[in-house]
Structure 1
Amino acid sequence: MNRTETIEAVRLDGRGVWIDGRPRTLLCASLFYFRLPVEQWRERLAQVRASGYTCVDVYLPWNFHELAPGRWSFEGRRDVAAFLDLAHEEGLYVIARPGPYICSEWDGGALPAWLGLDPELRVRQNEPRYLEQVIAWFDQVLPLLAERQYPANGPVIMVQLENELDFFDCADRTGYLTALREAALGHGITVPLIACSGQGDLAGATGDADGVVPACNFYPDDDSPDIEAEVRRYAGLVADRGVPLLVTETNRRHRTLRRLLASGAKLIAPYLQSSGWNFGYTPSSGNWGRPGNFMSHGYDFGGYVTSTGVERPEYAEAQVFARVVEVWGDRLALAVPGAPDTEVACGFPTSSAPGVLDLPEGGRLVAVPHFGTDPGTAVVRGVPVAVAPGSCPLMAVDVPLRLWGMDATLTLASADLVAVADGVLVFSADVPVTAVLEGQRTEIPVSERRTVAGVTLVVLPSADAARLRSVGPDGTVRLADAPHRPAKPAPTAVLEARRRTDTPPEQPAGRHDLPPTLESLGVYRGRGAYRTTTDLTGVDELLLTDAADIVDLSVAGRTHPPIAGFGATRRIDVREVTGNAAIEGVVEIWGHANFDDSRLPALRLGALRGLGTLWKVRDTTDVSALWTVHGHWAGAPAPIRVLGGWSSTRVAVPVTYTRTVHSPAPSALHLRGVVEPLRVSVDDGEPVTVHTENPWVLLPAGTHQVSITVPHHPSGPGLRAELLTLDAVRDWSCAAQDDELLTAFAGRPGRTEEVRLPLALKPGEEAWLDVDLPASPEGYLVRLDATQVRVTGWAGGECVGRVWAGDRPDFSGGDPDALWVPPGWPGLTLFVQGIEGRDTPEIRTLWLGVPTD
């Protein structure tokens, strides 16, 4: 197929999305092959198609396919070509999103961990070292997409370049996106190229690069009355560029999706309608404004299909919505946002400016969202109509019916039109429907019909409308069978297991003066051990800097609670230790940051993992006094005050405090009482921002001038400063256990001994357990009745996830307390780690549940 034919097959213009010369309204569900068992790919794709959605968006994670530098894999669950072929067979279009950065709460946002080993490489920039790596990825993946472009050999109708770049500080957006565009064109991508904005900055997302279509991601409060006004603004902005409004990510709730449609969206892609699972060591860390939280292995934001494939009630709402889109067809696809001047008055909370679509053949669709919880009444064009709580009917106003072969005008219908037959209109509603046809007004109860002006009007409850199959000329309807929902069985208790008597091997990783990063040892996912012996005579505390992700530290045989501070500096009390002491730090990578958060060192995009640096604290000095004041009206010679002690009426205006500090060795400046971010510069160098999450600044040995700039508060910020003189702990031996080594060990049979739960462990003790699972066509959700343990599970040759019971950090993204063993994945092996905390490490019971909801 030549380029011209492909462009004609899929085309974007100011009126809409055109496929094969026909305008289309696309409903698109996120469905990620890398979060599903390969055995379920077809079933999940068919499930999306049965929902009425016609498209799936698919990320392609770079670091899922490049396992190590230059080592590529596109087999098994990584066979994305097979997944795309299945989507094509199931009749779905695909929007392919190969990154290079995808976010998606995935390890590193899909950027390979080893990129951070090159200090000159700058991710997501128009920078040659980074682009060289990106092009290597594109050389692998873009040919797969080019071969499967619609309509020649596959389902791909659009390709997204980058992802929400407007969240990231990119120095040359135009150059960067142009480089990605040229790579795509060079590999024969001829379908539209798009780039999505995460916070409405169209130029920030696309760099205004020629040939890159801006798309929008919206994540509003579902109950906001102002969604329509915001979306209409962007519909106008992209129309000025000659392209349609493509909503490439948004909330899952169909009431909100209807509001987007009525405001001009031509592609509506709720993010994660079909949920999945973060198998392996693939979740990310540090999302959504809570520094240091972990993403769970269950990846589920409440979409219409759960992580294990069970349909939620929202699935039926999707089917009804899809019927609305289908029945209005080309007219809806070419409709344009109209002025919200249709007379609508609501007796319930609703939109501040209802969405209105002007249909090309005359008439309008008016969206009337109901935010309340009780049935309500709206007055539309002077006619009172019932509106169900939580709904958003798309009401037809002044619609001529001649295109459906009926010589009449539908002046008003207060419910969704879901089907049309010869002389029959079928509506979906859970409250009585009011219709005005040829001047005749009628109210139709749910599950009944009326004939008005020769047209039969039928009202189906929404549950039936979701199952509608055909409509007869007399208004009779045929429904599909109601889905069978078996009773949820009680979970089964497992109290027996086999404990392995051997332990997984370690890969020796040499001796190092200071602890190296795990990535420099070849561990991109997994864990590593750091061991040394040092003299702690006269040392009361240690300082740990830049450690990530999970550090299990033992000093002289004493196990400390896990450290999961993502690089935040931590003080460790060792007053009870004297003389030479053995120190061991076992560090596990939960996941690399998928967003760029400067508040903690390990949450920067591209930040590396490892023990960081462990320091002996030799001396502590209070340096809160003798700071000179600069700014406001302070004159020369500069006044001297305590840190934060300047008195001024200039509230929030920055004031700078400067002082000379001296240390004969490396030191750490600790700023206690930090509330708002402040700026610190040393020896007139580039200022750094210090946050309350990590109020420390490391200084080399010597004499330094330190300047601290803070927003002034008339009551004083309550800052105190202390200087800790440091001595690095040196001479470390290292060992590596990456995810492949651990998975291989879990899959090998070994010597075992029978154990019966409960199983108690000491803090720091580890145990490997093999558990027999009865065969199940649904698989199992495995939950633990346990305290103070971290558990990693394997089944079917894959890591199925990790669970942390007891004292733990925050988790986000889904259910953090279950492991899913998919059907057909044999066996279950658990790696159990006892951790220090308030309770005794113990597994009391394993509960096997069938994933039915």
Structure 2
Amino acid sequence: MKHTETIPRIELSKEGIYIDGHAVVLLSASLFYFRLPRAEWRDRMRKVREAGYHAIDVYFPWNFHEPEPGQWEFEEDKDAGAFLRMAAEEGLYVIARPGPYICSEWDGGALPAYLFTRSGMKLRDNDPQFLAETAKWYGRIMPILRRYEYGREGTVICVQLDNELDFYACEDPKGYMSALRDLARAEGIGVPLIACAGQGDLFRASGYAEGIVPTCNFYPDDVQPDFEEKVRVYQQRLSKLDYPLLVTETNRSHYLLRRLLVSGAKLLGPYLQVSGTDFGFTNAANNWGDPLAMLTSDYDFGGMISPEGHLRPEIHEGRMLGRLISTYGTGLASGTPDEATAQEIRTSGIQPGVLAGPHVIRFPQGGIVFALANLTGVEAETTVSFDTGSLRRTLPFRIGARECPFFPLGVPMETWGYSGVLEYANAELVWVTLDQTTSERYMIFQSDHQTEVCFRFERGSKVEVTSDGSEVDMMNEGCRLRFIHQDGSRIACLTYEDGRRLFVAVCTRDEALRLTGIRQGRLLLEDRIAWLQPAAAPVDIAWTASELPPDAPLFDQTTVLGKAPDHLEYYGIYRGFGWYEAVLAAPTGDGYCGLMLEEASDIVSVYVNGRYEGTHVPAGGICYLPGKWTGQDPLALTVRAEIWGHTNFDDNRIPSIRLHSTKGIKGVTAVRRIRRLTDNWRFKAESTDALLSEAEKGDRAFAEGTDDASWTVIGWGAWMDTAVHARGWYRKTIAISEDADAAILHFRDLQCTVKVYINGREHGVINPRNPFLRLDTGERSLTIACEVNRHYASSAGEILLYEGTRAEEWTLTGGEEQAFWEHAMASMKEASTILLPYPLRSGGTSWLHAVVPDSNHGRGWRVRVDGKNLKLTVFFNGRVAGRLWTPDSSERPVFSGGDQTSFLLPGSWFAKGAENRLAIYAEAVERESDGILRLLEFFPVQS
């Protein structure tokens, strides 16, 4: 497939994808080099090819290659060029997706975290600052992609710009995408440029910018009844623009891929058929939870190849679909949906909602295939009536549970080098191939019931038909074959007058899935691929542990922050941990009744005077920790903050899943008192007409300028309105206590949204997921004006005012992957021998050490953890292998992605002739209970 002379023409037109003038349907598997050790790249590529796939799509994550500003890395596991060269050697087309934003449940969607600290920058928009930074990335990655374009040294056939932009509030999609196009072309990219729509808005995804082909990502329920109808809408819309339907992402089931194929898709891109691991601190946070979720280190959605490289049964379905695509060749590749013909094919004898279809693809050279998708979990029987070239025929069809077979009608045999027409069959033609010993051609159908196949030949043709017991009806200009499996009748032979022979065989669906070829007329079948996890292997490991001061930083280099802290990224910490330390003024009088953690994220563990106050996941907002502190001495405060991952989405419900969100903490307030602000608010209800008129004046008329002397006096949230959607204004003036230098509003039990103005200035929008708002206490008298928007009967809750004293004298100590490993190795000097189970007191931290034998023939281990109330950061030979949080802690967030109970030790990470060291940073994260690590089970990775 490698070309080195002139660049051939790659065309994308409404008819399809043309490479070197040949129409192709591309079956593409996501394969991400940055989630696999380099030593495993070729293995995965070969498994993709063996699964019937012709292409891979691959992201190129910007922050993987630029971990620090200006520090570019393209060596070893980051050698993108080597990956592309390998793909060309393995005969795989490549769809390259360099961003700048990639999503992919990757840290920040691959945007470097330093961008989030740039004031005024609009990410993913036609913004000069952002485009200038993107140009630096494109200047590094695009020359690599250009070198490995199809026709040069590789097989890159198209380049995607950005990713699912229609999920993001880009103000100028056309300008932004045009700018990315120009940057890519300036770097010499010559292949087609594409842009995928994540939720179907082609304009917001591509801007319809000239020279950029919009593509679609579909993630339906696999058995959505009218899915084909939706897909055809986009196929027709794109056809009017002279573009093919390219499905760059969709579900992993080949059943759904078949439904897409018969709807006119020319690129089938199931997302994550090849799983991997987010090694290092590369996880993301996103909105797959309620609404927050942390992404697991194990990046596995159940695709056909596991993170270890084990094959799953779905790989058989991929192979069969790949053969179907290659069997029909240019017919499918340049065919178009034909709804009129589909309506002429009638099904009967089946309940509504059982089958989707028939749906038809018409071939340019003549003939069609039609598909019937079984939407249920049981076999469906139906009678199908259709027209052949000379008569109307009615046949029984059986469609297996969750199957979507393709049936031929009137397909010219020239497709396979013979004269005549494949008139019809009530079985799926799955493969036309050669016998490995005789080089004679076999046409193989798959069916689990009585099968009828009919051929028609040109007038005057002489074709002899012999069979191994199957019924043969010779007709004018044709023959009809009936295969009855119960009698073992499976093969017939068509002998043409020139002596060539075509064997027609029918096998069961199970045989079709396991079919590898034909030798001397016999089907070659492999055993069903269904990798079963073996039993845990006995691994001889001696454990040691070094317990750590839980409230002390692991590292020495401390930055003095002064009166107030900021998030970690502002101090150059983009992944890993930071230890914030501060002083709280002595809790005089009645003392403190709680702590307010301000803009805290992702995971924060709090210690006051060495006492553990819990581990929390505040989601970037304000978090209240009740407690009691009294005495005459200042309090020492430590907050250990972990960046689990920058969000790969943009969601405004909570701060930590905004795309620009940063991590760490921006302050702590020790609460002296809590005041209820329930009574005697001035209230003004607004009708729809009033809303329209006030919208023209601006909201400040209510926030500050309007005289509220005539307004209703009422308790907070007490106004009842019969409107379905009601808006009203509440206003109240309060005085901040003299001994408070911090004040925070809490809209407790809120069920609506509230826009808050303080002394006439907009201060923020509150929602039920983020109900706190810090006030500016520079002024002691504050007029609070709240615009409340709620649906009928939804509650405005109650308002509380927290007053207190802010912590000061802040310092910060931070560390990333390498610093942790160095500390782990240094801590071994103080380690003591332990046995599992290993207990760890509440709030405690410890390094656990072991040497792992390379006793699995260099293939590595999947290690399953059994423990309670623990968070673990696992290092192996200097690298983070995984991060886990045992599933029983009360503060544990939602996790999504793959397995959160195990981690992978890749075989290629084992050093030859040296000790292979495992170091686990363990944190006991439950405030009321100790942690315990009971057991680690080692399961061998198989080849």
TM-score normalised over the length of structure 1:
0.94
* Distance 1:448-1:791 versus aligned 2 partners, 3 A rule: farther
Secondary structure in 1 matching 2:595: strand
Secondary structure in 2 matching 1:267: strand
Secondary structure in 2 matching 1:597: coil
Question: Shift in Å at residue 403 of structure 1?
Answer: 3.3
- Name the residue aligned to 1:440: 480
- Name the residue aligned to 2:563: 513
Segment of structure 1 superposing worse, 793-802 or 145-154:
793-802
Distance 2:481 2:151 in 1: 47
Distance 1:252 1:485 in 2: 18
The answer as to whether partners of 2:575 and 2:643 remain within 8 angstroms in 1 is: yes
The answer as to whether partners of 2:356 and 2:375 remain within 8 angstroms in 1 is: no
Question: Shift in Å at residue 467 of structure 1?
Answer: 4.6
- Name the residue aligned to 1:815: 899
- Name the residue aligned to 1:192: 192
Segment of structure 1 superposing worse, 115-124 or 251-260:
115-124
- Name the residue aligned to 2:639: 585
1:426-479, CA deviations, whole angstroms, 9 ceiling, x for partnerless residues? 01345554434457363443875143876643122344334544447x954344
The answer as to whether partners of 2:751 and 2:796 remain within 8 angstroms in 1 is: no
Segment of structure 1 superposing worse, 437-446 or 837-846:
437-446
* Distance 1:440-1:760 versus aligned 2 partners, 3 A rule: same
* Distance 1:616-1:748 versus aligned 2 partners, 3 A rule: closer
- Name the residue aligned to 2:784: 706
**Equivalences for 1:526-545 in 2 at 5 Å?**
526-534=576-584, 535-537=586-588, 538-545=591-598
- Name the residue aligned to 1:418: 431
* Distance 1:184-1:654 versus aligned 2 partners, 3 A rule: same
The answer as to whether partners of 1:12 and 1:244 remain within 8 angstroms in 2 is: yes
- Name the residue aligned to 2:346: 343
**Equivalences for 1:737-748 in 2 at 5 Å?**
737-746=815-824
- Name the residue aligned to 1:754: 833
**Equivalences for 1:67-146 in 2 at 5 Å?**
67-146=67-146
Distance 1:77 1:345 in 2: 57
Segment of structure 1 superposing worse, 817-826 or 458-467:
458-467
Secondary structure in 2 matching 1:674: coil
Question: Shift in Å at residue 707 of structure 1?
Answer: 3.5
The answer as to whether partners of 2:312 and 2:531 remain within 8 angstroms in 1 is: no
- 1:693 paired with 2:769, answer yes
* Distance 1:704-1:48 versus aligned 2 partners, 3 A rule: same
- Name the residue aligned to 1:498: 544
AA paired with 1:675? Q
AA paired with 2:596? L
The answer as to whether partners of 1:506 and 1:737 remain within 8 angstroms in 2 is: no
Secondary structure in 2 matching 1:561: strand
The answer as to whether partners of 2:297 and 2:882 remain within 8 angstroms in 1 is: yes
1:575-610, CA deviations, whole angstroms, 9 ceiling, x for partnerless residues? 144332211111111101111111111221121111
The answer as to whether partners of 1:16 and 1:243 remain within 8 angstroms in 2 is: yes
Secondary structure in 2 matching 1:182: helix
The answer as to whether partners of 1:415 and 1:433 remain within 8 angstroms in 2 is: no
- 1:334 paired with 2:330, answer no
The answer as to whether partners of 1:787 and 1:839 remain within 8 angstroms in 2 is: no
AA paired with 1:155? T
- Name the residue aligned to 1:772: 851
Unaligned runs of 5+ in 2: 386-393, 435-439, 456-477, 496-501, 691-707, 911-915
Segment of structure 1 superposing worse, 679-688 or 552-561:
679-688
- Name the residue aligned to 2:490: 449
The answer as to whether partners of 1:628 and 1:659 remain within 8 angstroms in 2 is: no
The answer as to whether partners of 1:350 and 1:368 remain within 8 angstroms in 2 is: no
- 1:732 paired with 2:810, answer yes
- Name the residue aligned to 1:564: 617
- Name the residue aligned to 1:825: 909
Secondary structure in 2 matching 1:598: coil
- 1:574 paired with 2:574, answer no
AA paired with 2:931? P
AA paired with 2:747? L
- Name the residue aligned to 2:869: 788
- 1:647 paired with 2:647, answer no
**Equivalences for 1:241-280 in 2 at 5 Å?**
241-280=241-280
Question: Shift in Å at residue 371 of structure 1?
Answer: 2.2
Segment of structure 1 superposing worse, 759-768 or 738-747:
738-747
The answer as to whether partners of 2:289 and 2:895 remain within 8 angstroms in 1 is: no
Secondary structure in 1 matching 2:930: coil
Segment of structure 1 superposing worse, 830-839 or 181-190:
830-839
- Name the residue aligned to 2:683: 628
Distance 2:862 2:790 in 1: 53
- What percent of counterpart residues are identical? 34
Distance 2:414 2:38 in 1: 48
Distance 1:502 1:641 in 2: 55
RMSD of the TM alignment (CA)?
A: 2.6
* Distance 1:443-1:656 versus aligned 2 partners, 3 A rule: farther
- Name the residue aligned to 1:369: 373
- Name the residue aligned to 1:839: 929
Question: Shift in Å at residue 396 of structure 1?
Answer: 1.3
The answer as to whether partners of 1:226 and 1:353 remain within 8 angstroms in 2 is: no
Secondary structure in 2 matching 1:68: coil
The answer as to whether partners of 2:93 and 2:157 remain within 8 angstroms in 1 is: yes
The answer as to whether partners of 2:289 and 2:896 remain within 8 angstroms in 1 is: no
Question: Shift in Å at residue 852 of structure 1?
Answer: 5.5
- Name the residue aligned to 1:391: 403
* Distance 1:743-1:145 versus aligned 2 partners, 3 A rule: farther
Distance 2:153 2:164 in 1: 29
- Name the residue aligned to 1:300: 300
Segment of structure 1 superposing worse, 359-368 or 240-249:
359-368
Distance 2:370 2:451 in 1: 15
Question: Shift in Å at residue 165 of structure 1?
Answer: 0.4
Distance 1:352 1:677 in 2: 43
Distance 2:792 2:187 in 1: 61
Unaligned runs of 5+ in 1: none
Which protein has the larger Cα radius of gyration, Structure 1 or Structure 2? 2
Question: Shift in Å at residue 639 of structure 1?
Answer: 2.1
Distance 1:443 1:708 in 2: 77
Distance 2:285 2:10 in 1: 37
Question: Shift in Å at residue 423 of structure 1?
Answer: 6.8
Secondary structure in 1 matching 2:102: coil
AA paired with 1:22? H
Distance 2:749 2:411 in 1: 65
1:271-300, CA deviations, whole angstroms, 9 ceiling, x for partnerless residues? 000000000000101232532211000001
* Distance 1:27-1:684 versus aligned 2 partners, 3 A rule: farther
Aligned pairs, how many? 850
The answer as to whether partners of 2:159 and 2:194 remain within 8 angstroms in 1 is: yes
* Distance 1:250-1:681 versus aligned 2 partners, 3 A rule: farther
Selected match of 2:797 from 719, 724, 741: 719
1:537-556, CA deviations, whole angstroms, 9 ceiling, x for partnerless residues? 32211111210111010112
Distance 1:423 1:143 in 2: 45
Question: Shift in Å at residue 683 of structure 1?
Answer: 4.4
- 1:464 paired with 2:468, answer no
Question: Shift in Å at residue 193 of structure 1?
Answer: 0.4
Question: Shift in Å at residue 521 of structure 1?
Answer: 2.0
Segment of structure 1 superposing worse, 820-829 or 736-745:
736-745
Distance 1:713 1:256 in 2: 39
Question: Shift in Å at residue 627 of structure 1?
Answer: 3.2
Distance 1:848 1:787 in 2: 18
Distance 2:164 2:258 in 1: 24
The answer as to whether partners of 1:444 and 1:459 remain within 8 angstroms in 2 is: no
The answer as to whether partners of 2:619 and 2:654 remain within 8 angstroms in 1 is: yes
The answer as to whether partners of 1:495 and 1:757 remain within 8 angstroms in 2 is: no
